[in-house]
Chains A and B, each alone.
Chain A
């Protein structure tokens, strides 16, 4: 069984590499076909300067040649130099700013997962009683209110709290200490938390009324043990399934939160690059995010095998 698992992982890795290549190719051609010109700026340039800029970024070559060069560099892990941050390599940008997004993202996912599982289980246990109604109302709010609204409101709330105490209880924006992370991470994870709560609730309800729980109860297993071993453990599976993609989505989707809380994450660079047609940064971040997402999906697949023995059989 051990060797079949390695084969499984290998198979997924090869698939993953193919997926990343596809992402890279699709992004490359989509980007080159988007109207607009990355080298145009407020102040018009002469043809000579333009020609030099094109030569610098290799834009003077035919598109297929550029694609070849690009793939070659990608294989060597060289993502090129940013068009707008002229002296910075895309590798530098990712290395400097992804850790920030990752810390924020992981924290947000933990908030989301812990909250989702706890609230979801709670609503299932107290189904159709007041804790269920209150939490599910909040869940609907959490899903439907966009993050820029939540971010702005929570920031305003921080200002008022600080004003009330006459000192900085929690910083309003910025990055660097524990206190800087708490609120942004919660805001970032809120939507996912709400989604996971609903998922957990329905999954839990299904388990609660299943046969093996009834059997366990009939055998006289202590309630706490039934809850922990039979119900929670089984109900959590769907949550784990969506957790991998959620981590990637949260980590890459923090643009609004990063902007509002002035956090130096990668999301901001990603969005700015698209607005400014910074080809190398768009390519670099897209491929990086793509690879990250693929990797997280593989990790979840493998983890799944440990939690659910039935999955392992299908390797």
Chain B
């Protein structure tokens, strides 16, 4: 019987006729698909973003860019993520702002005065919201009181703590009306300090200090910042369309008071993706104005003869010790041994090989400013030299002090990014070879790593810290015993004393001396081991000028960007 079957399907004419039939079906399918896709595209037009005019469109004076992720919401008082910071930096303006050289410039405030016990800001007369209302001191008072209101549950409420009673209000101990900020009249904002805060002017450039109009806020029924029409704008650009997850359109704010910002008519954020390869493809295709480059992409970028720029993204990564009692890492000799057995140069240049990374040598990154120049040239960090012999001596002392025969495995808590894992594996090998220590790597995702850091379930954690404002204190107070971000619970009266000076000292020189001391303590007491300062290599469309990537504030800044041959 089986022979009959094969006789049938070996029948040449049958196969031919069936093939013909199949071809007809294929044609039908193709026609059907074409119609279907056409219908879908009409539907999709309503759900997705629009097509854009390409990376740089001189005819319309517009550019197209990408966002790393969808901003969760654009309520400045509660924003915590990089994408929200980027959008807010373009559509809103605080009392003060930064220029393209990271110098403070007047924003909504035309002048200001910082005193020992408080500050006064004078709001400019021509400051306007996008609905035409004037921006007043009351808008700042309302915004700040709302941030510290426990009901708002703002994660950045702590940044207002220099203001009188801010901490007590967030704890629910005082009503929010007791916050030390008051609009004397429409154009004068009075701030009282909890303690002298010489860096307050830099602080108010941060997003949490952005203004909010009470009347408008209340009209949104708790949806403020959720959509483009549920916000008011006072920045150089206005957010017009916001298709969630897909695209945004910012257009030049006609009511913006100054002419030193906002030179583009339109900025389109047409793509939202974290995929750096996809971004590179979009850039090559001429769809976006700038993109980031990873080490493996550099050879191709050079082949294309692109102008490659570098910038420090601001963040310092380090090995943070668990200083809780009972941990091996609580022992100074042990930490010192680990410090002496490594060198961050090797990590960065031989292992990570990211061209824009710098070996870290201090808690304070290289770009932090001192009195007249760079902080680190005014206060050079202790010079570090790898010394294995000394390291082994310290390790032996630690062993005797701890009264143990052998060291237990050291738990290295680390994030799940390739760079963190690679670094951890490097240290695992390094400490095995140099000190005979066994390192157990504990890879966790972001939230789980934070949970373990907070509960102290680690010996060493691969961590990083990025700046909030342009002052050494944004790093300097990290190891104060009361700082909740000090998750290794480092506790030293010497450190605390220096942090108090750094927070409140009015004499700039003495204040910087304190930061110098903090830098020294961090090294000598081995509070942490610096790993690297992160940086980006990036490429910008040559027609776009004045674009900035920043270490502080928004990671990308188009406020001063313009197209060279734009038609007006």
Q: When the two chains form their complex, are residues A49 and B72 in contact, meaning their CB atoms are under 8 A apart? A: no
Q: Considering residues B25, B47, B151, which has the most beta carbons from chain A within 10 angstroms of its beta carbon?
A: B47
* A45 CB, nearest partner CB in chain B, Å: 5
Stretch at the interface among B85-93, B118-126, B268-276, B350-358: B268-276
Q: When the two chains form their complex, are residues B454 and A40 in contact, meaning their CB atoms are under 8 A apart? A: yes
* A239 CB, nearest partner CB in chain B, Å: 14
Inter-chain contacts of A178 with B (CB < 8 A): 37-38, 40-41
Q: When the two chains form their complex, are residues A110 and B5 in contact, meaning their CB atoms are under 8 A apart? A: no
Q: Considering residues A48, A51, A96, A276, which has the most beta carbons from chain B within 10 angstroms of its beta carbon?
A: A48
Inter-chain contacts of A107 with B (CB < 8 A): 36-37, 40
Stretch at the interface among B15-23, B182-190, B371-379, B502-510: B15-23
Name the one of B17, B22, B281, B485 contacting A173, with C-beta atoms under 8 angstroms. B281
Given A126-B15, A177-B51, A208-B9: A40 and B278 interface contact (C-beta under 8 Å): no
Given A168-B285, A223-B14: A176 and B450 interface contact (C-beta under 8 Å): no
Name the one of A49, A97, A162, A168 contacting B153, with C-beta atoms under 8 angstroms. A49
Q: When the two chains form their complex, are residues A223 and B44 in contact, meaning their CB atoms are under 8 A apart? A: no
Answer whether residue A259 sits at the interface, using C-beta atoms and an 8 A cutoff. yes
Name the one of B18, B226, B270 contacting A88, with C-beta atoms under 8 angstroms. B226
Given A99-B47, A227-B17: A46 and B484 interface contact (C-beta under 8 Å): yes
Q: When the two chains form their complex, are residues A45 and B484 in contact, meaning their CB atoms are under 8 A apart? A: yes
* A275 CB, nearest partner CB in chain B, Å: 6
Alpha-carbon gap, A175 to B5, bound state (A): 50
Given A52-B151, A262-B271: A37 and B450 interface contact (C-beta under 8 Å): yes
Q: For window 74-102 of chain A, which residues contact chain B by CB distance below 8 Å?
A: 82, 84-88, 92-93, 96-97, 99-100
Answer whether residue A144 sits at the interface, using C-beta atoms and an 8 A cutoff. no
Inter-chain contacts of A36 with B (CB < 8 A): 444-445, 447-448, 450-451
Name the one of A49, A86, A224 contacting B20, with C-beta atoms under 8 angstroms. A224
* A227 CB, nearest partner CB in chain B, Å: 4
Alpha-carbon gap, A107 to B40, bound state (A): 9
Q: When the two chains form their complex, are residues B171 and A48 in contact, meaning their CB atoms are under 8 A apart? A: yes
Of all chain A residues, the one with the shortest Cβ separation from B445 is A275
Given A125-B19, A264-B272: A118 and B485 interface contact (C-beta under 8 Å): no
Q: When the two chains form their complex, are residues B22 and A118 in contact, meaning their CB atoms are under 8 A apart? A: yes
Inter-chain contacts of A314 with B (CB < 8 A): none
Given A122-B19, A177-B41: A87 and B225 interface contact (C-beta under 8 Å): yes
Q: For window 138-180 of chain A, which residues contact chain B by CB distance below 8 Å?
A: 152, 155-156, 158-159, 162-163, 168, 171-178, 180
Inter-chain contacts of A198 with B (CB < 8 A): none
* A50 CB, nearest partner CB in chain B, Å: 8
Name the one of A49, A110, A213 contacting B157, with C-beta atoms under 8 angstroms. A49
Answer whether residue B8 sits at the interface, using C-beta atoms and an 8 A cutoff. yes
Q: When the two chains form their complex, are residues B244 and A96 in contact, meaning their CB atoms are under 8 A apart? A: yes
Q: For window 436-469 of chain B, which residues contact chain A by CB distance below 8 Å?
A: 444-448, 450-452, 454
Inter-chain contacts of A159 with B (CB < 8 A): 281, 284-285
Q: When the two chains form their complex, are residues B278 and A173 in contact, meaning their CB atoms are under 8 A apart? A: yes
Given A85-B70, A269-B245: A163 and B284 interface contact (C-beta under 8 Å): yes
* A240 CB, nearest partner CB in chain B, Å: 16
Given A86-B72, A122-B19, A173-B281: A44 and B487 interface contact (C-beta under 8 Å): yes
Inter-chain contacts of B223 with A (CB < 8 A): 87
Inter-chain contacts of A51 with B (CB < 8 A): 150
Q: When the two chains form their complex, are residues B243 and A44 in contact, meaning their CB atoms are under 8 A apart? A: no
* A48 CB, nearest partner CB in chain B, Å: 4
Q: For window 202-221 of chain A, which residues contact chain B by CB distance below 8 Å?
A: 208-209, 213-214, 217
Q: When the two chains form their complex, are residues A40 and B447 in contact, meaning their CB atoms are under 8 A apart? A: yes
Q: When the two chains form their complex, are residues A156 and B170 in contact, meaning their CB atoms are under 8 A apart? A: no
Q: When the two chains form their complex, are residues B153 and A56 in contact, meaning their CB atoms are under 8 A apart? A: yes
Of all chain B residues, the one with the shortest Cβ separation from A103 is B40
Answer whether residue A26 sits at the interface, using C-beta atoms and an 8 A cutoff. no
Answer whether residue B370 sits at the interface, using C-beta atoms and an 8 A cutoff. no
Name the one of B18, B49, B222, B285 contacting A227, with C-beta atoms under 8 angstroms. B18
Interface size of B in residues (CB-CB distance below 8 Å): 91
Alpha-carbon gap, A103 to B75, bound state (A): 32
Answer whether residue A32 sits at the interface, using C-beta atoms and an 8 A cutoff. no
Of all chain B residues, the one with the shortest Cβ separation from A265 is B245
Inter-chain contacts of B22 with A (CB < 8 A): 118, 121-122, 125, 227
Name the one of B18, B158, B226, B487 contacting A87, with C-beta atoms under 8 angstroms. B226
Answer whether residue A10 sits at the interface, using C-beta atoms and an 8 A cutoff. no
* A201 CB, nearest partner CB in chain B, Å: 13
Inter-chain contacts of B230 with A (CB < 8 A): 87
Inter-chain contacts of B66 with A (CB < 8 A): 262
Answer whether residue A53 sits at the interface, using C-beta atoms and an 8 A cutoff. yes
Q: When the two chains form their complex, are residues A177 and B45 in contact, meaning their CB atoms are under 8 A apart? A: yes
Alpha-carbon gap, A264 to B70, bound state (A): 10
Q: When the two chains form their complex, are residues A118 and B29 in contact, meaning their CB atoms are under 8 A apart? A: yes
Given A35-B451, A118-B22, A223-B14: A41 and B284 interface contact (C-beta under 8 Å): no
Of all chain B residues, the one with the shortest Cβ separation from A85 is B72
Of all chain B residues, the one with the shortest Cβ separation from A259 is B275
Inter-chain contacts of A92 with B (CB < 8 A): 244
Inter-chain contacts of B78 with A (CB < 8 A): 86
Name the one of A176, A182, A209 contacting B5, with C-beta atoms under 8 angstroms. A209
Of all chain B residues, the one with the shortest Cβ separation from A115 is B29
Alpha-carbon gap, A261 to B272, bound state (A): 9
Q: When the two chains form their complex, are residues B244 and A264 in contact, meaning their CB atoms are under 8 A apart? A: yes
Answer whether residue A30 sits at the interface, using C-beta atoms and an 8 A cutoff. no
Answer whether residue B61 sits at the interface, using C-beta atoms and an 8 A cutoff. no
Q: When the two chains form their complex, are residues B2 and A49 in contact, meaning their CB atoms are under 8 A apart? A: no
Answer whether residue A181 sits at the interface, using C-beta atoms and an 8 A cutoff. yes
What are 13 of the A-B contact pairs (CB < 8 Å)?
A: A41-B80, A43-B155, A48-B150, A48-B172, A52-B150, A88-B226, A118-B22, A171-B287, A172-B285, A177-B41, A223-B17, A259-B273, A262-B278
- The 6 A-B residue pairs with the shortest CB-CB distance, nearest first, are A209-B5, A175-B48, A264-B245, A44-B484, A87-B226, A264-B246
Given contacts A35-B448, A37-B454, A96-B245, 4 further A-B contacts (CB under 8 A): A87-B226, A159-B281, A163-B284, A174-B51
